[in-house]
Amino acid sequence: MKKVVILGSTGSIGTQALDVARHLIKSLKIVGLSSFSNILRLKDQIREFRPEIASVWFEKDCIELKSWCRENNLKTEVVFGIEGLIKAAKHHSSNFVLSAVVGSIGIEPLLEAIKSKKQIALANKEALVVAGKLIMDAAKKCGVTIIPVDSEHSAVFQCLKNEKNKFISKIILTASGGPFYKKSKTKHSKVTVAEALSHPTWKMGKKITIDSATLMNKGLEAIEASHLFNVPLKNIEIVIHPQSIVHSLVQFVDGSVLAQLSNPDMRLPIQYALTFPERIKSGVKELSLTRIKKLEFDVPDFKRFPSLELALKAGKTGGTMPAAMNAANEVAVEKFLKKEISFSQIPKVVKKVMDKHLLNKNPNIRQILNSDLNSRKAALKIIKEIKH
């Protein structure tokens, strides 16, 4: 029986994970849920799944939710803040944590879940980008398997089953290209929030949708893959594939290439992570290659999408640089969504923060979290200057 805590249960991945959980009722129990501030959705989830613990971000929401639980005769313990999230992540009744929060806030809960020897399904890519080495080292030490939920990494994970690391020649990550794959760079400054949020093939949370439009997402995913599969960034290739059918590929030293294909539907990698090593029927539409007829592949345009280059540069530099890059991007995306900066200013903010960053080549967790915090402040300062 998997006893699951879902961190970020009210988000895009979280709600789809609960959809999957409804079909796995015999082999899976929901023990913990968490949201940032979407209390209405969290209440519905608590009423339906009756978890032992629920975590929210703000104390006032915690107080309200506690009294609501009392009135409704629900025994769920309600906690808040980062301590609450960590408490949910290492809850004694669970043996499995799906981390689906967005951003580097997921690092500490993830590390605590690993130290408590929970099996992990990981959607929260920013945690691996920022603290990948420490997370993978902790997982190894604690004998914990991290099963990726990100579709590309789930594809690679499936292709690598029973293969030795030394046989990998390269990992090929596919990218849809986002809504501006064909748009000229001069037009990037005029992109509206609504346009950037209209992803051609996936329906996701706002932050990752903007990252997909800037191609930052693929840079983050290259770093994520490098940590998950212990493959250097130079052996990770990025290929644009607008149909999002081939989710990623692995080329082996003998020249053989394995790929995983399906219609784009996140419920599939989520279900695979929750049922691994088993496979069960899913509601995902069956793939018909003869109906699709054409699958296209192209090289990414680094000039039109500078965020991709910046992420790869941060990954290659290592140390605290990915923390600086990621923090700047999180802040810049948030400000773009609030219409305070333009789409083309996102990579400019990231570059300025990275240029100013004082690199620590071999940081511990405190130093990484400090770099994250300081880079957020630096990004806010740069954005303030841009606006004046």
Q: Cβ closer to ligand NDP: 11 or 300?
A: 11
Between 94 and 104, name the residue whose CB sits nearer to Mg ion: 104
Comparison of 9 and 374: residue with beta carbon closer to ligand NDP: 9
Closest approach, Cβ 358 to ligand NDP, in A, equals 26
Number of residues that bind Mg ion (CB under 5 A): 3
Candidate residues 19, 24, 38, 170; the one interacting with ligand NDP per rule CB under 6 A: 38
- Cα of 385 vs its chain's centroid, Å: 30
Cβ distance to ligand NDP smaller for residue 69 or 122? 122
Compare residues 320 and 326 and give the one whose CB is closer to Mg ion.
Answer: 326
| 36, interface contact from Mg ion, ligand NDP, none, CB < 5-8 Å by kind | ligand NDP
Tell me how far, at minimum, the Cβ of 52 lies from ligand NDP, in Å: 18
Q: Which of 61, 63, 89, 78 is nearest to 5 (CA)?
A: 89
Check binding of 32 to ligand NDP (CB under 6 A). no
Cβ-closest position to Mg ion: 150
242 touches 296 (CB < 8 A): yes
Closest by CA position to 263, among listed 239, 283, 237, 280: 283
Task: Pick what 10 binds: Mg ion, ligand NDP, none; C-beta below 5 to 8 Å, kind-dependent.
Answer: ligand NDP
The DSSP code for 37 is S
Considering only CA atoms, give the Rg of the chain: 20
Looking from the CA of 149 toward its CB, the CA atoms found within 13 Å total: 26
Residue 205: how many CB atoms within 10 A of its CB?
A: 16
Distance, in Å, from the CA atom of 317 to the CA atom of 320, rounded to the nearest integer, reads 9
Q: Of ligand NDP, Mg ion, none, which one sits near residue 100, judging by CB under 5 to 8 A according to partner kind?
A: ligand NDP
Selection from ligand NDP, Mg ion, none that 310 binds (CB < 5 to 8 A by kind) is none
Site for Mg ion in 318-337 (CB under 5 A): none
Please identify the residue of the shown chain whose CB is closest to the bound ligand NDP. Answer: 11
Q: For residue 284, what are the contacts with CB-CB under 8 A and spacing of at least 6?
A: 262, 263, 265, 267, 268
Strands (E), the chain: 2-7, 28-34, 53-56, 77-80, 96-99, 119-122, 146-148, 168-175, 236-240, 246-252, 257-261
Binding ligand NDP (rule: CB under 6 A), the pick from 8, 51, 178, 300 is 8
Query: Does 11 participate in binding ligand NDP (rule CB under 6 A)?
Result: yes
Site for ligand NDP in 212-271 (CB under 6 A): 266
Which stretches of the chain bind Mg ion, using CB under 5 A? 150-152
